[in-house]
Structure 1
Amino acid sequence: MLKASTTTITARTLPALALVFACVTATGSFAGQRENIWIPHEGDPIVVSHGSPRATGQLGFRYENGFGVPQNYTAAAGLYWQAAEQGDPFAQAHLGLSYDRGHGVQKDLILAYKWLDLATARASRRDRAFYQRLRDGVAEKMSLPQVAEGQRQALIWAANWAGR
């Protein structure tokens, strides 16, 4: 156990601190700048307005699964959304799964399909088949008009994102 001023850092908190440091340093900024990242206290919102979308999505994964931080589905979904809006396929897929399961967001199969469809389209060759299976699994729970609506929403998002 390390002792830094009055804050105790344990082996359990080190992975979370390392991830936060990675999020902040990806922007070339220092962690003391509040607009880059803010480490919340219990009950506080998590805000990541700048930085690596991949690191933001990974932080969401840590919150979803309670790795080094308290498990919090709502915080995870918020982080996934922030990174998904920046085009990260990992975050898009996990946001889709959050909508499919109702973890941290209201269950919505159309939004689940939309985000999984976007993740499939943007994924690396290695991840594409996996995301496609997840998307198709959600589609099996949906009617054809619902799938069409999910596809329509994904196309609209992709067209708007390409125009940024």
Structure 2
Amino acid sequence: MKQTVPKKQLDIKNINDQDLDVRKPAKTIESYQKEAAQGDSNAEYALGIKYRNGDSVAQDYAKAREWFQKSAAQGHAVAQTMLGNMYRNGEGVDKDTNKAIEWYEKAAVQGDAGAQLNLGWMYRNGEGVAKDATKAVAWYQKAAVQGDPSAQYALGMMYRKGLLGVPKDVAKAIEWYDKSCCAGRCGCAIYPWRNVSQWRRRCQGCC
């Protein structure tokens, strides 16, 4: 089977799920199918997204899962995360948090921030696993370092309130709130500040 080089995988990862082709001429479903038939994991992932979102085809979770499965089996990290999402949400398959975690872990060890964020949430809340504050913080940290704004916000809250065994540290809380703001989740950064105007000045200054 044709394996996908990391650079190509990274390119696909950075394209919005809702529009895989925003930075290049549109490909037809037939083009993706032709490439997927040759074992291209990016094309398999793209078809999974198309069928999951009903983009240019009728929405079909079963077909989406099938294509994500093919891509994930080749080691495509984002496809592994999407497959985990489908098992977690029961989309096209019976809901199975154990399988969701299995696929998230495969993606997370490859460095996929979305999978790392999901694992952080699941260990924090005991979703399908025993609650484990240490693992939750570790996964949030990994995702945050990669620039995931939701993970950065979560760390900010932990340092601000002393959650999950994280010691209270206002300076670190502000640092992570600022990073989250500059990564696109500006609304969250209002929490450390007394009013909206103060937050806006802070957020504008950090970017």
Name the TM-score, length of structure 2 as normaliser. Answer: 0.46
Residues 15, 68 of structure 1: alpha-carbon distance in 2 compared, 3 angstrom cutoff:
same
Q: Which amino acid aligns with 1:136?
A: G
How far has the Cα of 1:14 moved from its partner?
3.1
Q: Which amino acid aligns with 2:63?
A: L
**Is 1:20 aligned to 2:66, yes or no?**
yes
Q: Structure 1, residues 23-42: CA drift from partner, whole Å, max 9, x if none?
A: 42x48xxxxxxxx3xxxxxx
What is the aligned-residue RMSD (CA, Å)? 2.5
- Aligned 8 A contact 1:112 1:138 in 2: no
Tell me which structure has the larger Cα radius of gyration: 2
State the identity %.
31
Indicate the structure with greater helix content: 2
2:139 maps to: 115
**Is 1:141 aligned to 2:141, yes or no?**
no
- Aligned 8 A contact 1:74 1:103 in 2: no
CA distance in 2, matches of 1:143, 1:22: 36
Aligned residues: 108
How far has the Cα of 1:22 moved from its partner?
3.8
What is the 5 A alignment of 1:40-55? 50-55=74-79
1:73 maps to: 97
Structure 2 segments unaligned to the other structure (5+ residues): 1-58, 168-207
Structure 1 segments unaligned to the other structure (5+ residues): 1-12, 28-35, 37-49, 146-164
What is the 5 A alignment of 1:122-161? 122-123=146-147, 128-138=148-158, 140-144=162-166
Runs (4 or more) in structure 1 with deviation over 4 Å come to none
1:60 maps to: 84
Q: Structure 1, residues 44-85: CA drift from partner, whole Å, max 9, x if none?
A: xxxxxx321111011111111112211111111111111101
- Aligned 8 A contact 1:23 1:52 in 2: no
- Relative contact order, higher structure (CA 8 A, sep 6+): 1
Residues 137, 63 of structure 1: alpha-carbon distance in 2 compared, 3 angstrom cutoff:
farther
CA distance in 2, matches of 1:53, 1:15: 19
Residues 92, 52 of structure 1: alpha-carbon distance in 2 compared, 3 angstrom cutoff:
same
Residues 143, 51 of structure 1: alpha-carbon distance in 2 compared, 3 angstrom cutoff:
closer
